[in-house]
Amino acid sequence: DAPASGKPFTRFDLEKETELRFEVEAGDASEQVEMELVTGMAEVFGSELNRNKKYTFGPGSKIAVFTWQGCTVNLYGKPEVAYVSKDTPMLLYLNTHAALEQMRKQAERDNERGPRVMVVGPTDVGKSTVCRLLLSYAVRVGRRPTFVELDVGQSGVSVPGTVSALCIERPADVEEGFSVQAPLVYHFGSTTPGTNIKLYNKLTSCLAEVFSQRCEMNRKASVGGCIINTCGWVKGSGYQALVHCASTFQVDVVLVLDHERLYNELKRDLPHFVRVVLLPKSGGVVERSKECRRETRDEKIREYFYGFRGISFFPFSYEVRFSDVRIYKIGAPSIPDSCLPLGMSQDDTQLKLVPVTPGRDLTYHVLSVSSVDDGDEDARKSIVESPVCGFIVVTQVDTQTQVMKVLSPAPRPLPRHTLLIMDIRFMDMK
């Protein structure tokens, strides 16, 4: 093709209700593809594109440009794959949005609350994408929905190992996703709910409670309802966690992506007034390898400290004396019931704060900075159920001088001295 601005590009003419799917090769940090809408109208995961604007996508991006009316799109650079598909479930997703919007209208009329929606399914079926789509559509028609992120492996809101809630006030940015100002974030500490399912369920309940309180005070939030993204673990305790979530959030609608058995199980186990809907996954959703998932997690942590694209952050590195902080892990290793101290149950051990003695093995661990300090017994009890105010990474430990070096988004001192350790590690290669 003729290079208009010096760069070679490929032009795609899309008919109505089709989508252009493309991927940018992962691994090489310099890899990128630019996309430009030349004629017509189109959207990326529910966010409308501006015409004649070049959007840049970095390594590992997997994008779909969908058009309701038809359009022309240019791709600059070398995507790993790029093709147009006529076979997309977008119409079904739009209908789902229309049904939810109907429920919001009714809620508005009857002075009730709007739909609380839980999106479930195995990994790599496009759960996060469907959440983003429904949230962007809702905000585009003037709603203020809340996004609840329960996927501790691939959080769209904060670093991995957390659960969170975010009020959505504008559609997702085409390149960067939702603006994450002032999310409410809780420490979970690992990338799979299975490492501490009691804690996971507890935090789900905490988020549900905070959301309900907000709905009581804020009518728009109540009518907007929420969209809950969940983990891809849908068996055993993972399944029980979904049922728990449905009950604690009092969800009205469950969207099951591409999993008939899960659909039938939820229909059987949830109260009859909960609408359980089976939706197909998009053929465009690409399966990600373990390695790819790990890279995405790493990238999310790097973004937290160093920023993203146009916005660079400059993190601080400083020393913290062991004696100035208290580090805890949530959950003691489970021990047989017969060995538990009198009056204590397994639940207590999983939610217990266990002091961590700083040692060399702390190096590279991500630590959450709790929003409360462990002044007394009561405060200590509330730590597990309190949000965090940020994260640091331990980059060096000196046991001789009893000092550790940390990477922090803010200059010293630490805002609080209670730190919660994650299983997750981050090696700063910058």
The binding site for ligand ADP (CB under 6 A) comprises 21, 62, 64, 123-129, 232, 282, 284-286
Closest approach of Cβ 63 to ligand ADP, in Å? 6
Which residue's CB is nearer to ligand ADP, number 221 or number 226? 226
Which residue's CB is nearer to ligand ADP, number 286 or number 403? 286
Closest approach of Cβ 147 to ligand ADP, in Å? 13
Which residue's CB is nearer to ligand ADP, number 202 or number 300? 300
**Selection from 52, 48, 47, 19 nearest residue 35 by Cα:** 52
Which residue's CB is nearer to ligand ADP, number 123 or number 192? 123
Which residue's CB is nearer to ligand ADP, number 127 or number 297? 127
Closest approach of Cβ 66 to ligand ADP, in Å? 8
The 3-state secondary structure of 145-200, one letter per residue: CEEEECCCCCCCCCCCCEEEEEECCCCCECCCECCCCCCEEEECCCCCHHHHHHHH
Helices 90-110 and 127-140, packing angle to 10 deg: 50
d(CA 127, CA 46): 14
Q: Name the residue type at position 204.
A: T
d(CA 361, CA 351): 23
289-312 per-residue burial string, b: 16 or more CB within 10 A, e: under 16: eeeebebebbbbbbebbbebeeee
What are the structure tokens assigned to 386, written together? 């309190």
Closest approach of Cβ 353 to ligand ADP, in Å? 31
Position of minimal CB gap to ligand ADP: 284
Which residue's CB is nearer to ligand ADP, number 62 or number 214? 62
Helix (H) or strand (E) holding 133: helix 127-140
Closest approach of Cβ 154 to ligand ADP, in Å? 6
Closest approach of Cβ 233 to ligand ADP, in Å? 11
92 CB-side CA count, 13 A: 14
Closest approach of Cβ 88 to ligand ADP, in Å? 6
Closest approach of Cβ 351 to ligand ADP, in Å? 28
Answer yes or no: are the C-beta atoms of 1 and 10 closer than 8 Å.
yes
Which residue's CB is nearer to ligand ADP, number 126 or number 225? 126
Which residue's CB is nearer to ligand ADP, number 229 or number 368? 229
* Parallel, antiparallel or unpaired: strands 388-398 and 311-312: unpaired
What are the structure tokens assigned to 167, written together? 């009020």
